[in-house]
Chains A and B, each alone.
Chain A
C-alpha cells in the first residue's frame, strides 16, 4: 500500500518544521516590527516636538517684535501733539522699518490730536500698487474706527490687545490679525488713553513662517487664537471661518477641544488620535505662545513614518515566505532521501507477504539506521528464501520417496493390504482390485475380514480363531503363510497364503501389512 504524497512522513515533517519555523519567524518579525515602529514613532514625535517649539518660538519672535513696535510707537505718541501729516508719516515709517508688519493704524479719541479735529484715524498698509503703500482714512462712513471692538477694548483695558483674525475688507483684502496698543496723555495728573496704535500682520505670511518648520510630507501646523478661531490651517477655507470647537465637532475629533483647554491653561503636550476624513492616525504636539495667548498644533500622519517600515515588512515577509518555501523544499528532499529506502522496504515487505521471495532489495548504500534496516531486510529475505527452498526440498523429497515406495508396492504381484491395528484396510495395491473386483472406495476403511478369512491348515479341521491376526498385531508378532480364503465381490472364493507383518514406529506397533499369495495359474501350453 503506497502512502499518498501529502500524508507521507517527509511532507508531515516539512509541515511541522515549517509551522514552527514560520511561527517563530513571524513572532520575531512582529516583535522586530513593533520595536522599529516604536523607534520610528519616537523619532517622529521628537521631530514634531522640536517643530512645535520652533513654530512657537518663531511666532513669539515675530508677533512679539510687532507688539513691541506698536508699544514703541504708542509710547512715542504719549503726550505728543502732532499734525495729521506727521501721524501718517509715523505709520508709514512703521511699515518701512518692519517688514513683518503689513499695516499700521493710528487713531485718536475726539480732539485728542488737536482741538480743531473732532476725530482722526489713519491706516497705512502695504500694497502691490507702484506706490507700495496705501493710506486710508479711518473716519470714513465705512470705517468709523471708534465703533470697532479692537479700538474700544484697547482703550478700555489700557493694554495691548491681540484681536481675532479677520479679512481686511477694503484694506489689504487679506486675512490678517491685529495688535492694538493704547497711548496716553496726562490730564490733571491722570493718564488718560487718547488713542490706539494698531499693527496688522498678514496671516499668509504667518503661514509661510510656520511652514518653514514642516518636517515631513504630512506634517501640518494649526494656529488658533485665544478664542479658538483658526489663524493657520492646512485647509485655507477653515481659516477665520472655523474655530477649534467647530472643527472638533465637524471632524469628530474631541481631542482638539482637549488641546484648546490645555492651551488656555498654558500647558503643552502631545496626543494621538484617529481622523475619519481622511482616515488616518495622527500624532500632534501642541504648545501655547507666550505672546497673544495663541495655540500652536503641529501634527503628522503616523503612516508616513511607518511607510518605509511597511515596505520593508512586505519585503521581509516575501523573503520569509521564499525562505520557508526553500526550507520546505530542502526538508522534503532531505527527508525523502533519508526515508526513501523505507518506502522500498515497505514494498519489499509487501512482496514477501505475497510469498515473492525473489523481490529486489537493493544493497544498503548508507551506514546508518536505515542502512542497517535494509541489510536486516535482505538477511530476512535470504533466510526466508533458504527456509522456503529447504521446505520445498523436503516436500519433494517426501513426495518422491512416497511415490517411489508406492511404485514398489504396486509392483508386488501379491495382494497387499495395509491395516490399522483394528484390522481395517487403509491401503491396498492394484492387484487387490484386479483380484477381488472391488473398487478402492469400497475397500478402504473396510475390515479385512470382509474379503479374507483364515482357513484350516493342512491336517486341521478348524480354522484359527478370528482374532488371531488382531492378537498377533497387538503382540507385534509376524504370521507367516497362514492358509486363508479370499472372497471376491461376486462371492467367488480363492485359496491363498497370508503373511502378516506388524508396522512399527519407534518400536510401537501402529498397524500391519498383510500379503496374500495365491497359487500361481497353471501354465498354458500352446
Chain B
C-alpha cells in the first residue's frame, strides 16, 4: 500500500510539482492550499506525512502545524518554505514541532531524500 503524503501550499504549481515527483517516487499524494482544507484531509484521509509551506491562504504553516499536532501528533511534518530561517530558529521555536525544515531553494533531490528519511520503506 502506497504511503500517503499531504502537500499544503498556496501556490498550485508547487503542489503540482510535488505531486509529480512524489507520485513518481511511489507515493500517494493529496494537496491543499489552506489550513482548513488541509485539516479536513487530515481528518478524512490521514496522511503519513505532511509537507507544508509557511505562506498559506488565510493563515500560515505555523497554524497548520499547531492544529495538525493537536489532531494527529504522530504525523511528521516537513516545512518547505522560501522564508529562510536562521538555523537557531530552526533548532528553537520552529523546530520543536516539525520533523524537518527544507528550503524551497534546495534541489528536489533533497526534498525527496528528506521524505524518504521520514517515511522509511
Are B108 and A400 closer than 8 Å at their CB atoms?
Answer: no
Asked if A480 is at the interface (CB within 8 A of a chain B CB), the reply is no
In the bound complex, residues from chain B placing their C-beta under 8 Å from that of A389 are: 17, 20-21, 24, 108
Asked if B104 is at the interface (CB within 8 A of a chain A CB), the reply is yes
Contacting residue for B107 out of A390, A396, A398, A400, CB 8 A: A390
In the bound complex, residues from chain B placing their C-beta under 8 Å from that of A398 are: 105
Most buried by A among B21, B83, B107, B108: B108
Are A401 and B104 closer than 8 Å at their CB atoms?
Answer: yes
**Taking the nearest CB of chain A, how far is it from the CB of B60, in angstroms?**
14
**CA A392 to CA B24, docked complex, whole Å:** 15
**CA A389 to CA B17, docked complex, whole Å:** 7
Contacting residue for B82 out of A390, A394, A401, CB 8 A: A401
In the bound complex, residues from chain B placing their C-beta under 8 Å from that of A396 are: 11, 13-14, 17, 104
In the bound complex, residues from chain A placing their C-beta under 8 Å from that of B83 are: 404
Are A385 and B105 closer than 8 Å at their CB atoms?
Answer: no
**Taking the nearest CB of chain A, how far is it from the CB of B29, in angstroms?**
14
What string of 1s and 0s marks CB contacts (under 8 Å) between A357-392 and chain B? 000000000000000000000000010011001101
**CA A396 to CA B24, docked complex, whole Å:** 19
Are A392 and B104 closer than 8 Å at their CB atoms?
Answer: no
Asked if B44 is at the interface (CB within 8 A of a chain A CB), the reply is no
In the bound complex, residues from chain B placing their C-beta under 8 Å from that of A401 are: 82, 104-105
Contacting residue for A397 out of B21, B24, B104, B109, CB 8 A: B104
**Taking the nearest CB of chain B, how far is it from the CB of A155, in angstroms?**
129
**CA A400 to CA B15, docked complex, whole Å:** 13
For chain B, the count of residues having a C-beta within 8 Å of the partner chain is 15
Secondary structure class of chain B's binding surface, majority of residues:
helix
**Taking the nearest CB of chain B, how far is it from the CB of A397, in angstroms?**
5
In the bound complex, residues from chain B placing their C-beta under 8 Å from that of A394 are: 107
Asked if A273 is at the interface (CB within 8 A of a chain B CB), the reply is no
Are A400 and B104 closer than 8 Å at their CB atoms?
Answer: yes
Given A390-B108, A390-B109, A400–B11 Cβ distance below 8 Å? yes
Asked if A393 is at the interface (CB within 8 A of a chain B CB), the reply is yes
For chain A, the count of residues having a C-beta within 8 Å of the partner chain is 14
List the B residue with the shortest CB-CB distance to A394: B107
**CA A392 to CA B108, docked complex, whole Å:** 10
**Taking the nearest CB of chain A, how far is it from the CB of B69, in angstroms?**
26
**CA A400 to CA B82, docked complex, whole Å:** 7
In the bound complex, residues from chain A placing their C-beta under 8 Å from that of B109 are: 390
Within 8 A of B (CB), among A387-443: 389-390, 392-394, 396-398, 400-401, 404
In the bound complex, residues from chain A placing their C-beta under 8 Å from that of B17 are: 389, 392-393, 396
Are B82 and A385 closer than 8 Å at their CB atoms?
Answer: no
**Taking the nearest CB of chain B, how far is it from the CB of A221, in angstroms?**
96
**Taking the nearest CB of chain A, how far is it from the CB of B16, in angstroms?**
9
In the bound complex, residues from chain A placing their C-beta under 8 Å from that of B11 are: 396, 400
**CA A386 to CA B111, docked complex, whole Å:** 13
In the bound complex, residues from chain B placing their C-beta under 8 Å from that of A382 are: 24
Most buried by B among A393, A396, A398, A404: A393
Given A385-B24, A400-B11, A393–B82 Cβ distance below 8 Å? no
In the bound complex, residues from chain B placing their C-beta under 8 Å from that of A386 are: 21, 24, 108
In the bound complex, residues from chain B placing their C-beta under 8 Å from that of A404 are: 82-83
List the A residue with the shortest CB-CB distance to B84: A401
List the A residue with the shortest CB-CB distance to B83: A404
In the bound complex, residues from chain B placing their C-beta under 8 Å from that of A392 are: 17
Given A404-B82, A404-B83, A397–B20 Cβ distance below 8 Å? no
In the bound complex, residues from chain A placing their C-beta under 8 Å from that of B13 are: 396
What string of 1s and 0s marks CB contacts (under 8 Å) between B9-49 and chain A? 00101100100110010000000000000000000000000
Are B24 and A393 closer than 8 Å at their CB atoms?
Answer: no
Within 8 A of A (CB), among B50-95: 82-83
Closest 9 CB pairs between A and B? A393-B108, A397-B104, A400-B82, A397-B105, A390-B108, A389-B21, A401-B82, A404-B82, A393-B17
Not counting A393-B108, A396-B17, a sample of 8 additional A-B residue pairs whose C-beta atoms are within 8 angstroms of each other reads: A385-B24, A389-B17, A389-B24, A396-B104, A397-B82, A398-B105, A401-B104, A404-B83
Q: Write 24 A-B pairs (CB below 8 A) sorted by A numbering.
A: A386-B21, A386-B24, A386-B108, A389-B17, A389-B20, A390-B108, A390-B109, A393-B21, A393-B107, A393-B108, A393-B111, A394-B107, A396-B11, A396-B14, A396-B104, A397-B82, A398-B105, A400-B11, A400-B14, A401-B82, A401-B104, A401-B105, A404-B82, A404-B83
